[in-house]
Structure 1
Amino acid sequence: MSATLSRRQVLAGAATLGTGLVAGPAALGTPARAAAVAYDVVVVGCGAAGMTAALRVAALGLRVVVVEKAPTFGGSAARSGAGIWIPNNQVILAAGVPDTPARAASYLSAVVGGDVPTAKQRAFLDNGPPMISFVMAKSPLRFRYMDGYSDYYPELPGGIARGRSIEPDLFDGKLLGAELANLNPAYLPTPDGLSVFSADYKWLNLSLVNARGTAVAAECVARYTAAVLAGKTPLTMGQALAGALRAGLAAAGVPVWLNTPLTGLQQDATGRVTGVVVTRAGVETVITATRGVLVAAGGFERNLAMRLTYQRQPIGVDWTVGARENTGDGIRAGLGAGAATDFLDDSWWGPAIPLPGEPYFCLAERTLPGSLIVNSAGKRFVNEAAPYSDVVHVMYDKNGVVPDIPSWLIFDQNYRNRYLFRDVAPALPFPDAWYSSGAVVKDLTLGGLATRIGVPAAALAATVARFNGFAWTGRDTDFHRGDSAYDHYYTDPAVVPNSCLAPLLLPPFYACKLVPGDLGTKGGLRTDPRARVVRADGSVIPGLYAAGNSSAAVMGHSYAGAGSTIGPAMTFGYIAAGEMAGDLT
């Protein structure tokens, strides 16, 4: 498929019709429209951004409805670990984190560079802390500090090695009543009998070789047991985030229409967005929005035509862990309304193992000591412990010279005996399906492993030997693995002199295929510091707002810390709500 054809397919429905409707993702042959309904604000998308916005709109006294394409609420946020990166929020300040507005501004500027206007960065930093305080006041959502989860570039000016990220505290799913059945399931379900926070995974990986890991595992069991004995349905991570926000909407009386995809935006003769057209129960329905429309419908990670048009190859829709309904509906509708876009070539990348059924987004496994990553030449090409987005950027940047896609995560039996891998306990065999799919390969010798994955045996042997030398000395002079405080988060403190370097010595040896996975796309509609969607000339499209992965990320092409997706999504949803409440034009 050529890029030209792909773009035409993507934008096929984006022409302005004579009725004032800007067609979006749906085909033009739709059922007859029902009588229009009216609200002050329409929010498209029931993820973290959309629910935060709707919660604030309702608190400001306006009538708001949330429309959601999926049969579930929560979107990709509900599937996630739900880390939230918000500098200077009340949770981290109470924990004694030495953050200041100036320090945060310095750090974000150093991370993002000139890709995002300073005013937009400032809007995020100024509104993030009050947003956290607001959702705590207006919903049952509570937070925990992820102590020790470093900013991703703590050595940059303003960086904090202790970290700025927070995550949801335990939430009782019973507060949702029957609506609990509509919560989008987690990407990786928590094991039965455990209540696990994101910050616990660092230690659960080490539960057989580290006393604190064992203690944390016991805490997870005790936490679950106490909650169940108290009559609760304990939810954590993305399930807690989405569930608590949805409970807040229910308490505020905000209607949420599931199974209601966006068909297009409605504009008047001046170009102002005055509402949306959705399909509800098979009937095309016009919803008038007197104050504005917020597009918070996620990215386009599940839209092959858009990925082929805008992103580097190889790419597809099978390596993402984003919600299945994220096909760029809101972005395409915004394009039809004349919106500009930014960062469509980029995603919230991370190396993924293409396991049968669903890819596995690889975090700790590539950082724990005793593993390394090689390309098709059998050579290392990146600091394996670097921020996951950076690793994939390097995979793409170097792929034209020596193919780095797919790459291979190599480790030995000693590594396998010590650490949790995905949800497979140490020393236990991997599922047969992993091997039969080609995602995992095993051999008694490095030479045999090299042959089976198609890399030069001599090169792989030399790479492992050199890496083993770095492990003995504790210094990776090739790619500086372990030089950053961030590199040591998912590592083994018992390993010295460098907690993320250990030799590969004990057969058999394993290789896991790595491809460019992602949590979702990060490019979308261009917005100003007030979350208003703008055209290429900088003029505002009146009545149209965007947040979350439907908008161009405030992080630009980078990633400040754990939760740099959800934190800004909620913040710009919060900003958009305030703008619409004050929009009297």
Structure 2
Amino acid sequence: MVSGSGDAGVDRVVDVIVVGSGAAGMSAALTAATHGLATVIIEKSSYWGGSSSRSGGGVWIPGNSVLREQAPGDDLEDARRYLKSIVGPHVDPARIDTYLDRGSEALQFLMDNAPLRLEWVRDYSDYYPEAPGGLATGRTCEPLPFDGRRLGADLDTMHPPYSDSAPPNVVAKQSEYRWLSLGLRSWRGPAAMARMGARAVAAFLTRKRLRVFGAALMGELMLGIREAGVPVELDTALTELITENGRVIGVRIERDGQSAVWHARHGVVLACGGFEHNAEMRRKYQREPIGSDWTTGAPTNTGDGIAAALKLGAAVSFMDDAWWGPTIPLPEGPWFALAERSLPRSIIVNERGERFMNESLPYVEAVHRMYGGEHGQGDGPGENVPAWLIFDKKYRNRYMFATVPGRGPLPKAWFDSGVMVRAKSIDELATRIGVPTEHLTATVERFNGFAETGVDSDFQRGESVYDHYYGDITNKPNPSLGPIVKGPFYAVQMVPGDLGTKGGIDTDTAGRALRADGSVIAGLYAAGNTSAPVMGHTYAGPGATIGPALVFGYLAALDITEHARTTATAI
């Protein structure tokens, strides 16, 4: 079903054109096709799956059938209080209500029409579990391991992960990753390794090609797309939206140097990601220091859909924000740091050698602190960029670091590049990374005092349940705190990376694109990172990017279906 061949110069007519093959695009396409509409997905990349296939694959949709069966603590009204409390006044409450009220319906539709199998990630808490309605046990689901052989030749064109160093079939679920990072500190680490080993052996014996995380999610959705008869046209770029009498009626595409106009009778859905790899747009909308080298988003996400909609007068919001995360700019590519900054015996300091945040904060909030500013939304001058993750020998011996097991040799290239520095003493480390020696020494001494008492009086690290998820449960008195005392000492550069940009086209509750005056651009829809986020400046929990992408892709397709029905009735 995936192709990139044929005569691109020949015009084409379908009911629905979906631009982008990530979670939002596949949700929209599967929904439209299942309702009888002739649908095509166009994808700029030579791969399908977009950033979704490179992601952790989590899905944050409160009240869904999996949670109702497996997570009795989930409650839809609590989720409503929670989401509105953390998002605040920055998003239309009607969009939040629609997301929550229709989310379970959307996910169930996708599970009914694709072999999508999910399970609750037990105890992966909401990112703000202490907020009103927050849930410490979590509302996140993840896909079960998926046999990529079911995709046939299409497996070869699935977007590869942004980092993949594991042997074939040695895969970890989200629920296992936290224990792997602890190495041998808890029996759960070896238990997770044993499960992974058994899974790998079974896969080898049965000739499976296991995929997890976003690859599993997108593989399952692709099987639904194929069953629904939706072609996925690779290497096919959107260059322009075509209008007639104020309505979007199609797209101009380019492939193999040829241009053509493809017509959509009922609607065009823009689901082609953000603009994280467009350096010009990042400079225009975001603040320095910024770059396209620190993102883990799909390389072809250059804001094409947003730019095309802007030419039609579309309104955009949150363009200055992103799905941020403290990131290590390794020579082989950026590493989005989850567990590394939350484990005991580590701190993050700025160029003044001082801590400036709770290192275990949810990743969006952590980068907001890196940029600084008065409003807590990262609107400052980048006063804490770059930063350095500092840790000691005991940390290195105990915990996995960017896929390297505890005590395992760290790549020489990391040190040669200057991203990682090692020294015999804190004084020497300060000199080597260019921070004031007296400041770093005082910072470490003060933090070590907090580690002894178990209370971080400066930034409250370890007080939130979320802080402990990637902490060390065997570490007392606080799983998130531990003294930095044993040399050699290490420093690793941290920059404001991201999973993708957050800003995009303003939409209504049906996913319809809006102008600045609130009027609808007829025939045009947006979902996923091409649209403005229902999460606002925040991030509700693991999977709070993919969840809205699936839901609003589904709702956009339903609105298109209704347009098709009323048009046919009128005729």
Matched to 1:531, the amino acid is: G
The percentage of aligned residue pairs carrying the same residue is 52
- Equivalent position of 1:142 in the other structure: 117
Deviation readout 1:301-347 (Å, 9 max, x if unpaired): 00000000000111011111100000000000010111000000000
Of residues 261, 281, 284, the one that matches 1:309 is: 284
Of residues 147, 154, 160, the one that matches 1:172 is: 147
Of residues 456, 460, 464, the one that matches 1:480 is: 460
Matched to 1:247, the amino acid is: L
Deviation readout 1:488-532 (Å, 9 max, x if unpaired): 000111101100100001000000001100000000000011100
Q: Is the contact made by 1:203 and 1:213 (CA closer than 8 Å) also made in structure 2?
A: yes
Q: Is the contact made by 1:377 and 1:402 (CA closer than 8 Å) also made in structure 2?
A: no
Q: Is the contact made by 1:207 and 1:217 (CA closer than 8 Å) also made in structure 2?
A: no
1:273 and 1:414 mapped to 2: Cα distance?
A: 60
Matched to 1:159, the amino acid is: G
1:291 and 2:238 are equivalent in the alignment: no
1:479 and 1:33 mapped to 2: Cα distance?
A: 57
Question: Structure 1 residue 186: deviation in Å?
Answer: 1.0
1:260 and 2:236 are equivalent in the alignment: yes
- Equivalent position of 2:342 in the other structure: 367
Deviation readout 1:467-486 (Å, 9 max, x if unpaired): 00100100001000011111
Q: How does 1:128-277 map to 2 (within 5 A)?
A: 128-189=103-164, 191-192=166-167, 193-268=169-244, 270-277=245-252
Between the two proteins, the alignment pairs up a number of residues equal to 553
1:498 and 2:474 are equivalent in the alignment: no
Q: Is the contact made by 1:82 and 1:168 (CA closer than 8 Å) also made in structure 2?
A: yes
Q: Is the contact made by 2:183 and 2:406 (CA closer than 8 Å) also made in structure 1?
A: no
Instruction: Go from structure 1 to structure 2 and tell me whether the alpha carbon gap of 1:252 and 1:330 turns closer, same or farther (over 3 Å shift).
Output: same
2:483 and 2:221 mapped to 1: Cα distance?
A: 46
1:525 and 1:401 mapped to 2: Cα distance?
A: 26
Question: What TM-score do the two structures reach when normalised by structure 2?
Answer: 0.95
Q: Is the contact made by 2:95 and 2:509 (CA closer than 8 Å) also made in structure 1?
A: yes
Question: Structure 1 residue 100: deviation in Å?
Answer: 2.2
Q: How does 1:328-367 map to 2 (within 5 A)?
A: 328-367=303-342
CA RMSD of aligned residues (A): 1.3
Q: Is the contact made by 2:73 and 2:137 (CA closer than 8 Å) also made in structure 1?
A: no
Question: Structure 1 residue 190: deviation in Å?
Answer: 5.7
Matched to 2:461, the amino acid is: R
Q: Is the contact made by 2:8 and 2:256 (CA closer than 8 Å) also made in structure 1?
A: no
Matched to 1:380, the amino acid is: R
Matched to 1:169, the amino acid is: L
Deviation readout 1:405-435 (Å, 9 max, x if unpaired): 0000000000000000011111122111101
- Equivalent position of 2:413 in the other structure: 433
Instruction: Tell me whether 183-192 or 427-436 shows the greater mean CA deviation.
Output: 183-192
Q: Is the contact made by 2:344 and 2:471 (CA closer than 8 Å) also made in structure 1?
A: yes
- Equivalent position of 1:325 in the other structure: 300
2:75 and 2:57 mapped to 1: Cα distance?
A: 23
Q: Is the contact made by 1:340 and 1:534 (CA closer than 8 Å) also made in structure 2?
A: yes
Question: Structure 1 residue 238: deviation in Å?
Answer: 1.0
Instruction: Go from structure 1 to structure 2 and tell me whether the alpha carbon gap of 1:111 and 1:190 turns closer, same or farther (over 3 Å shift).
Output: farther
Question: Structure 1 residue 233: deviation in Å?
Answer: 1.6
1:127 and 1:282 mapped to 2: Cα distance?
A: 41
Question: What TM-score do the two structures reach when normalised by structure 1?
Answer: 0.93
1:343 and 1:539 mapped to 2: Cα distance?
A: 19
Q: Is the contact made by 1:83 and 1:563 (CA closer than 8 Å) also made in structure 2?
A: yes
Q: Is the contact made by 1:340 and 1:535 (CA closer than 8 Å) also made in structure 2?
A: yes
Deviation readout 1:234-275 (Å, 9 max, x if unpaired): 11111111111111111111111000000110000x210001
Of residues 422, 428, 434, the one that matches 1:454 is: 434
- Structure 2 stretches of 5 or more lacking a match? 1-6
Matched to 1:446, the amino acid is: I
- Equivalent position of 2:390 in the other structure: 410
2:255 and 2:441 mapped to 1: Cα distance?
A: 60
1:523 and 2:503 are equivalent in the alignment: yes
Question: Structure 1 residue 402: deviation in Å?
Answer: 8.5
Matched to 2:326, the amino acid is: P
